[in-house]
A and B are shown apart, each in its own frame.
Chain A
Amino acid sequence: MNPFRYERARDAAEASVLLGKTPAAMLLGGGTNLVDLMRLRVAKPEALIDVSRATSDRVELLPGGGLRLGAGMRNTDAAADKTLRARYPVLSQALLSGASGQIRNLATVAGNLLQRTRCVYFQDVSKPCNKREPASGCPAREGYHRNLSILGASDACIATHPSDMAVALMALDARVRIIGAGGERLVPLAELYRLPGDEPQRDTTLQHGDVITHVEIPPLEFAKRSRYRKVRDRASFAFALVSVAGALDIRDGMVRDVRLALGGVAHMPWRARIAEEALRGRPAREDTFREAAAAELRAAQPLRDNAFKVPLAQRSIVRTLLELSAEP
């Protein structure tokens, strides 16, 4: 690990100022990903600005019925929050499907959002990787990629985003509140994350000096009927090969409204808007679910060893919708 200076920020505004003073500074939350990346010499910050006690660690009710999570809230606490569990079960389940009990006790909400891909080439400094070292190449395309992208990838990068929580938040139209050089702003998750294009080194649209203070979730009455389904190589403590966050509103046997997002398939949590559109106003039946899932995956461009993800994603969508439609 390279030497670094350690500073603890009192609040997010101070963290933003401290970041601004040092171009090679990084924010430290729980450290469960960053400390590992530093040990692997993938991350080489000159300074760590500890924000783990600088932002709220609570769930608060928003006027109008939404919730907001403090950026410094530990994953365990977010997942166990009673209001969150009742209103957005998909989010609690997604959090609990991620990592291990020990890691969830350290990991923060903002750190979860900003964790890096687990592509093996990104984590191995002896190999080229366009995300770690722009223009060095991508061995994943020809090499080990069974866990990588089938949607929205580029020639430069086929990495997947590893977070489960972010998949649920994407389905719930969450926004992040940010303090940066230009003041405070709210950014939808769909605009926080980005596809790799020819700049895979950028996971997000954040600028240096930006500090996430909260995640805000708008009210969604029917999200009380929502769930997270995660498919992985072992029963627990593994990253998703494919995951589905879904919420379903059925009236008189018809799909009134639906939210769907996929994990493990792209550089960002993948909102399945095509499937959602194909479902609204249609009968809540397996054949409709199958058609919608197939429509969403039509744009998939699988590689040699991850083509299994295409039918797996489709079946996972169908199964999630079937289970949701069977809920009382």
Chain B
Amino acid sequence: MDVEVALHVNGTPQRLTVDTRTSLLDLLRERLGITGPKKGCDHGQCGACTVLLDGRRVNACLALAVAHDGGNVITIEGLAENGDLHPLQNAFVEADALQCGYCTPGQICSAVAVLDEAAAGVPSYVTPPGASTVSLSDEEIRERLSGNLCRCGAYVNIVRAVRSVAP
């Protein structure tokens, strides 16, 4: 069943007619040609499809496009500003935080949100109870990025990259 959906994607307004079954991930990849978000598992288990939806990281594979009508989506393609890579993109290059690169767009989008969440004092499972501020230790980074799998096992350098950008 077709519905009309309006979204802002990487700053550009988009209006599309989609089947109600269309995930945000399929809309981005198949309809808009934005292939940075990857379809790793399509079950919310790998995080390769992570995008920022209204400023928050989500699994685009689990989000029905129709349910997020009016939403503002940022993908890995939308992180650079005026041709300059986002500090986390540079950090991933500097720290050699990848091997095959398939999970990288999701890792970086997720990490961008982790910086915001930590700055806002949002706790994680390893944050000491009662702590009102969050400092991004290696333990915090690992816990907060546990929804992004890297089958090459580049975790050590992913943590290093995120830590290098964390305040």
Q: Do A and B bind each other?
A: yes
B108 to A: closest C-beta gap in Å = 13
A185 at the interface (CB under 8 A from B): no
In chain B, residues 1-36, which have Cβ atoms closer than 8 Å to a Cβ of chain A? Answer: 1, 3, 19-21, 23
B119 at the interface (CB under 8 A from A): no
B64 at the interface (CB under 8 A from A): yes
Is the pair B147, A31 in contact by a Cβ cutoff of 8 Å? Answer: no
Partner of B67, one of A31, A85, A237: A31
Which of A13-21, A98-106, A287-295 is found at the contact surface with chain B? A98-106
Interface residues as binary, A22-64 with B (CB distance below 8 Å gives 1, 0 otherwise): 0000001011100110110000000010101000000000000
Interchain CA distance A1-B43 in the complex, whole Å: 13
Most B CB within 10 A of own CB, among A35, A36, A102, A237: A102
Please report the total number of B residues contacting A with Cβ < 8 Å.
42
Is the pair A92, B44 in contact by a Cβ cutoff of 8 Å? Answer: no
A-B residue pair count with CB separations less than 8 angstroms = 112
- Chain A residues, Cβ within 8 Å of B127: 96
Is the pair B43, A36 in contact by a Cβ cutoff of 8 Å? Answer: yes
Is the pair B43, A39 in contact by a Cβ cutoff of 8 Å? Answer: yes
Minimal Cβ-Cβ distance residue in A for B121: A80
B144 at the interface (CB under 8 A from A): yes
Is the pair A32, B146 in contact by a Cβ cutoff of 8 Å? Answer: no
B141 to A: closest C-beta gap in Å = 11
Is the pair B147, A3 in contact by a Cβ cutoff of 8 Å? Answer: no
Contacts A6-B3, A105-B58 given: A97-B43 contact, CB under 8 Å?
A: no
Closest 5 CB pairs of A and B: A100-B147, A236-B146, A237-B146, A96-B125, A105-B56
Interfacial residues, chain B to chain A (CB-CB below 8 A): 1, 3, 19-21, 23, 42-44, 47, 50, 53, 56-59, 62-64, 66-67, 110, 113-114, 117, 120-125, 127, 129-130, 132, 142-148
Q: List 8 A-B contacts (CB under 8 A).
A: A4-B1, A6-B1, A80-B122, A96-B127, A101-B57, A102-B58, A105-B58, A227-B129
Given A48-B64, A93-B125, list of 8 further CB < 8 A pairs?
A: A31-B63, A35-B62, A76-B122, A89-B129, A96-B124, A100-B47, A103-B147, A236-B142
